[in-house]
Structure 1
Amino acid sequence: MSEADTTKRDYRDTVFLPKTDFPMKAGLPQKEPGIAARWEAERLYEQLRDARRGRPKFMYHDGPPYANGDMHIGHALNHTIKDMVCRTQNLLGKDAPYVPGWDCHGLPIEWKVEEQYRKAKKNKDEVPLLEFRAECRAYAQHWVDVQRGQLKRLGVMADWDNPYLTMQPESEATIVAELLKFAESGQLYRGAKPVMWSPVEKTALAEAEVEYEDIISTQIDVAFEITQSPIPELVGAHAVIWTTTPWTIPVNQALAYGPDIEYVLLSVTADTVGVGAKGDRRVNEVLAAAGLPFHTNASSKFLVAKELATAFADRLNKAAKALDYGEVGPPSLQEYIDPWVERDASIAGSKLAGTIARHPMHHLGGFFAEPRPFLPGDFVTTDSGTGLVHMAPDHGEDDFDLCKAHGLNPKFAVEGDGKYREDWGWLGGQGSVINPKFNAPDGPICADLREAGALLAASADYKHSYPHSWRSKAKVIYRCTPQWFVPMDKPLAHLPAISLAEQRWENEGGDDTIDEEATAGSPTLREIALAEIERVQFTPEKGRNRIGSMVSGRPDWVLSRQRAWGVPITLFVNRQTGDYLVDPEVNAAIVAAVRAEGMDAWTPDTAHRFLAGKYDAAEWEPVSDILDVWFDSGCSHAYVLEDKERWPDLSWPADIYVEGSDQHRGWFQSSLLESCATRGRAPYDRILTHGFTMDAKGMKMSKSLGNTIDPIKVMETFGADIIRLWALSVDFTEDHRIGDEILKGVADQYRKLRNTFRYLLGALDGFDFDTEAVGYAEMPELERYVLARLAQLDATVRASIDTYDFNEYVRALIEFCNEDLSAFYFDIRKDRLYCDDPAGIERRATRTVLDVLFQALVRYAAPVLVFTAEEVWATRFPDRGSVHLLEMHPLPGEFANEALVARYAALLALRERVTEAVEPLRREKVVRSSLEAEVTVPADAVPEGFSDETLAELFITATVRRGDGDEVTVTRTQDHKCGRCWRLLPEVAEDGDLCARCADVIEGVLA
């Protein structure tokens, strides 16, 4: 026999392998910018609006980030979720526009401009107001442009050419108009209340601008001598207060006690000292010099809460022990304080009414010589301290309320920079009050109290949580200043006279569960807001309690800020009465001017023009404060959703607001309050919140720790689609993690999804649905099963869109591609695709299913992998426009087949057992692949209706037989391999010969 006779033909050129130009290597960092540029050139967003116009509306309203820096990973997650919300609604066929916005006013930007001034050694106060505002505006516009470019790069599809900015004249005019609605309806008042104040930034802060950090403070115990009391034995004793803010002692006006607390007198007398004769004089000198009452010449009693007496005694002992006694050494301390003993009966707090003390610095005269009354305070507890609280109405909310109720008014002793005013009788011109050295045990406050014999104990060792400005990171204080407020508990008579119960019934169609009697008459802002919180949907649900608890307990809304860059409070105040002007004609002129000129229409020097011809300007003072930026953004629903001229596709109210969970005290709340006060309901029907992004170890990201992830660098390394896949894969409703290893895992998931599309594109090469598709009834059962699983995926995707469970959306998509397709269907049907007759109905059925899968999966993936889905779609249909214009149409009802899915679930369990049984033989090289395996399976494990031949096809084995045993057994087949399809079949005489199917294809198709 010649060599030619013994050589078998190579049939590889006769196999119908997949063909596609779609590369396995993504190269996203290089491709994505080009795709984004094409979208912009083709005005894809406008195309989508045109395509969806007239469809059911879905109204998303964007919360404005500050325009003061590059996009960080939190921004990337936030905007990916927002984009997903709008894209999925558009995918469902709704008209879901996305108008982005930026918050451009306020301290974050003003602070940055001032930083530039400080670097240039330039004094901000010497810069003309309009010039300073112009610099702030330019700074904000720069970062708007930067962030806009970065968000485009992330693949966010929005109306980027027409965003809303809080500094646009149209926005500023509407903000002013909304403020004047409050004024005209009597919802504004000017009052002096303690507010969060930043001495560094010299302005009031909103709660949302404050963060809490642990600090170490000085704690002091201070004695106030009691001068009058209905309890005779208290006269001459000392009431002891404990505080961690020594700087508030110079502004003390009263002492608060708990009416239900039991108090005792602690005796410290010469009889209880017990100091030995050898050390008497030296010890007494040290104790006396320290102002402590432990020396033999002293005799004193201290009033403290019975429950806190031991802790107070411990602090006294610790203070005495810390003194320098020289060679004598400290005395025995156990006998120094006569513990509250049975002979000193407890004193009921309620009996302290009428008691008066004097300030430790009473010798300074004036304010300090005034009596300090004992006042009953329900807020006084025995959790810590002494059970007596010193009251400084300038610097505490409880202090202010209690003192005001008893005729004690603030003194405004502390200036905006944190120093006592120059004319203050004690420490005038000194500070800053937030300086630890100023408050230290050896600082000026403690030194003066010690000299006055009133400082009983002082130590810089008290750890606690304390508020800080999240911009300057400096400590803030409560400071009483004149501010503009919106009352939370004043009846809103200007709103329609409708009960809260009826309002809920109309809005929600739910049960009447609100107490009609409790809400009779006009509701208050707090009542309306709380009713709306009950109506609005929350994702996750816990957000309802979070914002509800904040609104139920929040103080009146402080609107004013003492800065320059912001929308002015456009009010005139009568110099004689203090009332503000309410004149709709003047107000209309102000709004018109701001709309034409922006915020510069109102300055202290130009505001009087609005009074011309109607009021005497000398009688009216223009307000120089600006509005809290939360009011700016809280009005955004008005100047965006209601502005039909700028955005005709928008409407009020919004279906959803989407932000981080911190916005329950920020934008969500300011929007709620503003809208409820002016419109009687929330501007949204649902709130979706996400948690914060932590590093891979679950730690908060910080530049100082070096654990931040820069999304811009991630896009340069991996691509924007990887960030998007990460953001939508995590459970973003909770705090979540990111890191290099996490991103590598996401990139691996991405590669699997990409390969799924690559396989589909290759297998569908040349497929024409109109001429080649096979009807559902003609399809083999496996194809119908895959379509049934697709129907289940479709239902999961739609449910996930409805509930905004994007984590489940992505998980279901990935699992379907990996498990149902790559590891199962694709693996089984490769043989048919590669080797069957192209005209055969079974191969056509497979390609029909692949086409259905492609059309569905590319749509499901489009909101997540926005660039990759576009690349996939354009590879197959380069002339059919963008994938992002497609809709997700309902699948044919016949696809759904739960019974078929259940039957295949049993088969898949058996298939897994077969795979596990084959694997050891593969490792031992008894078989090289499962195609060489003859398998025997338990007969009772095979679902009804599957032939042995079908089982072999589904298990990708040579043969399958049914046995009586319980185990799966595997042996190597003795059959020969077909030279074309590589199946081992009895009909193949020798390795390399053709099976009957392949011979027919070679003869009929490839001859």
Structure 2
Amino acid sequence: MSAETPDYRDTVFLPQTEFPMRAGLPAREPAWLDRWARIGIYDRLRERAGGRAPFILHDGPPYANGNLHIGHALNKVLKDFIVRSQQMMGRDARYVPGWDCHGLPIEWKIEEQYRQKGQDKDAVDLVEFRQECRRFADHWIDVQREEFKRLGVTGKWDDPYLTMNYHAEAVIAAEFMKLLMNGSLYQGSKPVMWSPVEKTALAEAEVEYHDHTSHTIWVRFKPMGLQPKAEWIGSSNEQQQTWKKNFEDKLRALDDLIGSEAEASVVIWTTTPWTIPQNRAVAFNRDIAYGLYEVREIADNSTATKGEKLLLADTLAEGVMQAAKVENYVRLRDVPTDQLGMLYLVHPLRGVEGADGEWDYRVPMLAGDHVTDDAGTGFVHTAPSHGDDDYQLGLLHKLQMTYNVEPDGTYRADLPLFGGEAIIQPDGKDGPANVSVIKQLAWAGALLAKGKIKHSYPHSWRSKAPLIYRNTPQWFAAIDRPLVDGMGDYGDTIRARALTSIDRLVKWTPQTGRNRIHSMVENRPDWVLSRQRAWGVPLTCFVKKGAKPDAGDFLLRDVRVNDRIIAAFEAEGADAWYRDGFKAQVLEGVADPDDYDQVMDVLDVWFDSGSTHAFVIRDREDGSPDGIADLYLEGTDQHRGWFQSSLLQACATRGRAPYKGVLTHGFTLDEKGMKMSKSLGNTIVPAEVVGQYGADILRLWVAQVDYSVDSRIGPEILKGTADSYRRLRNTLRFLLGGLAGFAEAEKLAPDEMPELEQWVLHRLAQLDHVVRKGYDAYDFQGVFQTLFQFCTVDLSAFYFDIRKDRLYCDAADSTRRRAVRTVMDILYHRLVTWLAPILPFTMEDVWLSRFPSEDDSVHLHDFPATPAEWLNEPLAAKWDHVRRARRVVTAALEIKRSDKTIGASLEAAPVVHVEDRDILEALKSVNFTDICITSDLSLTADPAPNEAFRMAEAPGIGVVFESAMGEKCQRCWKILPDVGSHDHPGVCARCDKVLGHG
């Protein structure tokens, strides 16, 4: 600029905004949270939404016992995306957060506190102990509530649901008593997953699997002899003769097989030596090929005996011989499986010194389909009290159950040889029981081989200690027993209703979730409802003293008693059950209290959370009219957890699933795909991310991942997320700056706008469909990527880049500039609302920067309606040609910038050769010079010379570089021949007119 040329900078309409370039989210977000609380935004939305169709996302309750981890953040932010987007698409999206408050983890913490103080838990009043648990839960609810709110999660935070609220406890008890009344409740004795450390049964969903090293043993079972089993013997001599005739040949053949001296042993293999004292049978499979093997040569340290005969599955014989250090052996003959079923065996501990006759019973051989030849010997040691397959086989053959293992994982004190020894010790480590059993088997000559194996083994998800299967009296919900409740539209049993619901009533996202839960429900056993603990809702029922569990009068079923219990719980909570005189109070006038025992077990906490549909969706004013949620959303592990417990509970008490849709997400891993753990030091704490970057960055990470699979997060990933945020923020800042002072009077109708503005409206109409469809499908990654690409590619790199000249340099009231600002206003309203569910803090900032208000919020607005007539496919097709041609021009100019021929594209006046006549006409019909941001540009149908720049993706287009002729306009920077020939020195005709107009 010469000394004589005026400074025109103040005449250019540069963007004006106070919206900061740096977000400062960690410091600024809390103020927006305070503002939302002050204006009561959630309740105002409910007031405004009267008459709208409700949308209920029912919150799966987190457990109130610690700070949030990154999985919590992923889960709650996904829920918030859904609630906010459904609200802004015209629904009444209600979200009531909740907490699971009962159960062992809290009870365990209180017991730890007692142990540290040297107090005896059992010496503390039970109600006072429960109150301690309640206070512990209250504390963590407050902590977690603030952490969830800090993530920007909207909801009814001032009135959440808690499973320990009095009404909730009353409803949980009422739901349990529906099982009592409809016939599904029963008391049974069967093996369940048992935690010796926590001294309670565990549900399947409370079990996790970790590597564990177990003792493994191969044990000889000697034949006892050949005799018809009891079921073969009829009630008359004639029938006995018939049995004898039918089996005489087989008995003789088996006698020939094992020898008159019974020197052939059936060999079993087990990884739980401690269960051998509870053995009641040995199982085989009729479809497995077995052989009789003779040991010929052994190693010096072998426990096998030269010349002994062993019965083994053929596919496993070699492995057994290696384990027993047998160096040479021979297969003598086949062992027909129809003969094995006639054989009784001797328990390997029979006759051991000190056994006192404990194991002097016959051990039958029984056919079982669960036996395989994948590992072991092909014969399975069967202890009905310590395994489900064993139990089922025991039921079929009426095997005797044993009660040798106490709640703390020790053998009963009077068990010969092993009394009082621990299987699992209080610290979760292996006790001496396994080794003791192995030693006794060795002394008895029954131990063929021993070793150790590392395998996946069940552990408690709370104490992390190993579990055992243990036979105990427990309360169950029978899932195959016909229910007497008049709600059989979808089946007469819990299982039938659940499977029907899965297939007909519920939409599973992803669809693989349907297969997962269907197979689980199809094959699951009865639901173990009882826990031998203190902190929970009790099993509110009474049993008749002296009556057997299968007797009709065993359980007291009376509506009056049930109603009294519910009323007491509503008034005092479940603590009422434990107060002196409660039994007499509720049984008064109905039954003699002395005739009944009050059950003191508590309900599985999964029954608590499975009942939430009743006291939240059904009972609350902000619930659903039909008591059914639109959506449950949790991690994939909840197919065996909350999704399933809710499904089974609701099918038992209301006849169908409590939800219409189920959405699942994966787990969170570190950047290398490793599971997070404190020991590895790779955990990502939500509070730390929020403190460093802000909640919106964490939320943006959630929006960018494919949550349907496991998601990775770490420092480098978060840096990338922050970079995406900055680019998006710059787009929004440009919009704000360009709209400074925009007024309604400036607006133009679409048909008054140039084609490029009409093309932007077309893109917005397309996006409106994509965004709404994406939010409805819970495809947040798709929504964000679509909008991000639009902002960075269509807007920043194309539309804004082209229209900066008109926005900055045209006259304030020019139609061209008004068209740009009208489109920017339209863009603003859509982008800010479309992104508000994902980035609530930032979009609030953007909204208030333009529309400051004491009580307004972007979150009080819906997505704007977008006219369908904005769609213009012919125009879009034309502009696809224009954009493709533009890319060739800008690429050609970039080469000239790189080699310093030019410093900016406005220094160029390229010649563009276009072979396709339709494309050429399209380029001529628009201001292609402005679109390419050059000072001049020539279009020609002439063939491009050899030196022309070309791109493979745009055949038929060639660009020849030419420099712009003229002087540089000191206002708009275009190089034009007319610069300097107007009233205002150093400017072009357009700028001279604007200055003169001014």
The SS at the match of 2:573 is helix
Measure how far apart 1:311 and its partner are. Answer: 1.1
Deviation at 1:132, TM superposition (A): 0.9
Q: Which residue of 1 aligns with 2:508?
A: 538
Select which of 754, 757, 772 maps to 2:746: 772
Q: Paired residue for 1:237?
A: 264
1:561-572 matches, cutoff 5 A: 561-572=531-542
Q: When the two structures are superposed, what TM-score results if normalisation uses the length of structure 1?
A: 0.91
CA contact (8 A) 1:694 1:701 kept: yes
User: Using a 3 Å threshold, how does the CA distance of structure 1 residues 117 and 909 change in structure 2: closer, same or farther?
Assistant: farther
Q: What is the CA distance between 1:713 and its match in structure 2?
A: 0.8
Matched, 1:632 2:608: yes
Q: What is residue 60 of structure 2 aligned with on the other side? A: 63
Give the secondary-structure state (helix, strand or coil) at the position aligned to 1:368: coil
Show the counterpart of 1:448.
Answer: 440
| TM-score for both structures, normalised by structure 2 | 0.92
Listed as ranges, the matches of 1:128-527 within 5 Å are: 128-229=125-226, 230=251, 231-232=254-255, 233-234=257-258, 235-268=262-295, 272-273=296-297, 291-294=303-306, 299-317=307-325, 334-335=327-328, 338-340=329-331, 344-363=332-351, 364-433=355-424, 438=431, 443-460=435-452, 462-498=453-489, 500=490, 523-527=492-496
Let me know the Cα RMSD of the aligned residues: 1.8
Alignment partner, residue 280 of structure 1: none
- The offset of 1:126, in angstroms, is 2.1
In the TM superposition, what is the alpha-carbon distance from 1:949 to its structure 2 partner? 6.6
Tell me by how many angstroms 1:948 deviates: 7.7
**Alignment-derived partner of residue 506 in structure 1:** none
Alpha-carbon shift at residue 852 of structure 1 (Å): 0.4
1:791 has 2:765 as partner: yes
Mapped partners of 1:126, 1:390: distance in 2: 42
Residue aligning to 2:779:
805
Question: In structure 2, how many angstroms separate the alpha carbons of the residues matched to 1:6 and 1:169?
Answer: 84
Q: 1:440 to 1:105 in 2, by over 3 A?
A: closer
Q: 1:962 aligns with which of 908, 933, 939?
A: 939
Matched, 1:708 2:708: no
Query: Shift of the alpha carbon at 1:439?
Result: 6.5
- Structure 2: state its 5+ residue gaps: 227-250, 549-553, 945-955
CA distance, structure 2, for counterparts of residue 400 and residue 497 of structure 1: 31
Counterpart of 1:529 (choices 498, 523, 537) is 498
Query: CA contact under 8 A between 2:422 and 2:432: conserved in structure 1?
Result: no
Taking the aligned partners of 2:417 and 2:298, their CA distance within structure 1 comes to 38
CA 1:303 to 1:274, structure 2 compared with 1: closer, same or farther past 3 Å?
A: closer
Deviation at 1:779, TM superposition (A): 0.3
CA separation of 1:375 and 1:979: change in aligned 2, threshold 3 A: same
Distance 1:222-1:981 versus aligned 2 partners, 3 A rule: same
**Do 2:421 and 2:433's aligned partners in 1 also have CA atoms closer than 8 Å?**
no
Determine the structure 1 residue equivalent to 2:996. 1003
Structure 1 704/204 Cα, relative in aligned 2: closer, same or farther at 3 Å?
same
Instruction: Give me the whole-angstrom Cα distance separating, in 1, the residues matched to 2:90 and 2:51.
Output: 10
Could you tell me how far 1:611 is from its partner in structure 2?
Answer: 1.1
1:747-780 deviation line (CA, Å, top 9, x unaligned): 11111111111111111111012x1100111000
Whether the aligned pair in 2 keeps the contact of 1:217 and 1:436 (CA below 8 Å) is no
- Asked if the contact 2:86/2:776 (under 8 Å) is kept, the reply is no
**Which amino acid counterpart does residue 922 of structure 1 have in structure 2?**
R
Aligned to 2:238: none
Contact residue 438 and residue 444 of structure 1 kept, 8 A: no
Per the alignment, in what secondary structure is the counterpart of residue 563 of structure 1? Answer: coil
Is the CA contact (8 Å cut-off) linking 1:949 and 1:959 kept in structure 2? no
Displacement of 1:440 = 9.0
Over 3 Å counting, the alpha-carbon distance change for 1:938 and 1:194 in structure 2 is farther
Change (3 A) 1:180 1:355: same
- Matched to 1:302, the amino acid is L
Contact 2:971 2:991 in 1 (8 A): yes
Hey, what does 2:825 align to over in structure 1?
Answer: 851
CA distance, structure 1, for counterparts of residue 752 and residue 469 of structure 2: 77
**How far 1:604 moved relative to its partner?**
7.6
Q: Which amino acid aligns with 1:954?
A: I
The 1:39/1:728 distance shift into structure 2, 3 A limit, reads same
Deviation at 1:85, TM superposition (A): 0.8
| Aligned match of 2:905 | 930
Deviations 1:228-282 (A, max 9, x none): 23311323321100011111111111111112222111113xxx3499xxxxxxx
Task: Give me the whole-angstrom Cα distance separating, in 2, the residues matched to 1:10 and 1:906.
Answer: 40
CA distances 1:791-846 after superposition (whole Å, capped 9, x unpaired): 11111101101211111011111111111111111111110011101111111011
8 Å CA contact retained: 2:196, 2:467: yes
Structure 1 residue 495 displacement after superposition: 3.1
Q: Please, which of 27, 36, 40 is the counterpart of residue 37 of structure 2?
A: 40
CA distance in 2, matches of 1:497, 1:176: 23
Q: Deviations over 1:871-913 (max 9, x none)?
A: 1111111127011010113201221112222222222222222
Structure 2 distance, partners of 1:757, 1:156, is: 23
Q: Does 1:594 align with 2:563?
A: no
Instruction: Specify the SS of the correspondent of 1:93.
Output: coil
CA contact (8 A) 1:223 1:241 kept: yes
Unaligned runs of 5+ in 1: 276-282, 318-332, 501-521
Decide which of 791, 804, 809 is 1:817's aligned counterpart: 791
**Aligned-pair distance for 1:916?**
1.6
Question: Cα offset for 1:650?
Answer: 6.4
What is the CA-CA distance between 1:141 and the residue it aligns to? 0.5
Contact 1:977/1:992 (8 A) holds in 2: no
Question: How much has 1:307 moved relative to structure 2?
Answer: 1.6
Aligned mates of 1:651, 1:457 — CA distance in 2 = 63
Q: Secondary structure at the match of 1:916?
A: helix
Distance 1:1003 1:689 in 2: 64
1:610 equivalent in structure 2: 586
Secondary structure in 1 aligned to 2:157?
A: coil
Which of residues 902, 909, 912 is equivalent to 2:887? 912
Equivalent pair of 2:878/2:922 in contact (CA under 8 Å): no
* Shift in Å, 1:636: 0.2
Q: 1:670 aligns with which of 634, 645, 651?
A: 645
Displacement, 1:405? Answer: 1.7
Name the SS for the 1:799 alignment partner.
helix
Quick check: 1:67–1:144 contact (8 Å CA) kept in 2?
yes
Secondary structure of residue in 1 paired with 2:194: strand
> CA–CA distance in 1 between the matches of 2:921 and 2:119?
86
Q: Is the CA contact 1:106–1:566 (under 8 Å) kept in the aligned structure 2?
A: yes
In 1, are the aligned partners of 2:321 and 2:327 still within 8 Å (CA)?
no
Deviation at 1:557, TM superposition (A): 0.7
**Pair 604,411 (structure 1): closer, same or farther in 2 beyond 3 Å:** farther
Contact 1:187 1:486 in 2 (8 A): yes
Structure 1 residue aligned with 2:7: 10
Partner of 1:112: 109
Per the alignment, residue 323 of structure 1 pairs with none
Q: Give the Å deviation of 1:436.
A: 6.6
Cα contact 1:432–1:438 (8 A) shared by 2:
yes
Does the 8 Å contact 1:218/1:440 carry over to 2?
Answer: no
- How many residues are paired up? 937
1:53 to 38, 50, 54: 50
Select which of 822, 846, 850 maps to 1:872.
Answer: 846
8 Å CA contact retained: 1:306, 1:346? no
440 and 985 in structure 1: CA distance in 2 versus 1, 3 angstrom threshold: farther
Give the one of 749, 753, 756 matched to 2:724.
749
Amino acid across the alignment from 2:449: A
Helix, strand or coil at the partner of 1:875:
helix
